[in-house]
Amino acid sequence: MKHLLSTEDLSKTDAIDLLDLAAKFAVTNHSNKTKSSALNGLLVANLFFEDSTRTRFSFEVAAKRLSADVLNFTAKGSSVSKGESLKDTILTLEAMGVDAFVIRHQNSGAAQTIAASSWSNAAVINAGDGTHQHPTQALTDALTIRDALKPSSDQKDLSGIRILIVGDVLHSRVARSNIFLLKTLGAIVSLCGPSTLIPARLKGLVDEIYYDFDLALRAEFDVVMMLRIQSERMQSGFVPNSVEYSTLWGLTEERFTTLPKTTLILHPGPMNRGLEIASSVADSQQSAIVHQVRNGVAVRMAVLHKLLVRETS
Ligand code: CP
The tens digit of pLDDT for each residue in 38-60 reads: 999 999 999 999 999 999 999 99
Q: Which of 54, 106, 133 is the best mutation target for the ligand 1 pocket, counting ligand atoms within 8 Å of the beta carbon and taking the most?
A: 54
Ligand 1 atom closest to the Cα of residue 104 is 8
Question: What integer pLDDT is reported at residue 313 of this predicted model?
Answer: 47
Give the residue with greater pLDDT, 310 vs 74: 74
Non-local (6+) Cβ contacts of 224 within 8 A are: 163, 164, 166, 217, 251, 259, 263, 264, 265, 266
Query: Which pLDDT does position 311 carry in this prediction?
Result: 67
Q: Mind listing the pLDDT tens digit for each residue in 121-167?
A: 999 999 999 999 999 999 999 999 999 998 777 889 999 999 999 99
Give the DSSP letter of residue 104.
E
Using CA atoms, how far residue 169 sits from 69, 138, 142, 155, 247, in Å, is: 36, 14, 18, 29, 18
Q: What is the pLDDT of residue 310?
A: 78
Query: How far away, in angstroms, is 311 Cα from ligand 1 center?
Result: 31
What are the Cα distances from residue 27, in Å, to 31, 33, 62, 272, 275?
6, 9, 14, 30, 34
* 189-204 pLDDT tens trace: 999 999 999 998 898 9
Q: For the chain, give the percent of residues with pLDDT over 90.
A: 85
Residue among 48, 53, 59 to mutate when testing ligand 1 (max atoms within 8 A of CB)? 53
- Say how many Å lie between the CA of residue 16 and the centre of ligand 1: 23
- C-alpha distances (whole Å) from 174 to each of 91, 144, 182, 198 are 29, 14, 12, 14
What is the structure's pLDDT at 263? 98
Residue nearest to atom 6 of ligand 1 (CA): 52
Identify which has the larger pLDDT, 19 or 235. 19
